[in-house]
Amino acid sequence: MDARDYLLNELKEIEKWEKDQKGLWFWERLTRLPFKMLDRFTPKFIQEKVGVLLDELGSYIQTGGQYLTSEKSVFQFFEKRLEGELASLQIWSAFRWKK
């Protein structure tokens, strides 16, 4: 019997909350209108590209950006980019530390 009284009390709380929410319906629909219009006038392929972009951004945020970088590819990029400069830097640092 105690569980039934508890459930009836919770049902009254839910009904009270639903009654309070009835006034928000108009404002909620009004604030969604610009997004509905944008959705209607934007071509499908742009919507898909934006969806992919948001998915990638979400993945980037969730993983802390780890999936975008790989140590091996970063080192290869800098090796190609700084090939001559790296050799001169190694010579300079070896010369500097010998003193």
Give the mean pLDDT per block of 10 residues along the chain (99 residues). 85 87 72 83 87 87 70 74 64 56
pLDDT confidence of residue 78? 74
Do the Cβ atoms of 59 and 67 come closer than 8 Å?
Answer: yes
Which distant-in-sequence residues (6+ apart) come within 8 Å of 68 by Cβ? 60
Q: Which two tokens mark 21?
A: 């929410």
Phi-psi region of 70 (alpha: psi -120 to 50; beta: other; left: phi over 0): beta
Q: Give the residue extent of every domain in the chain.
A: 1-68, 69-99
Run of H or E including 78: helix 71-81
Task: Show the tokens assigned to 62.
Answer: 């969730």
Read off the tokens for 41.
Answer: 């006038």
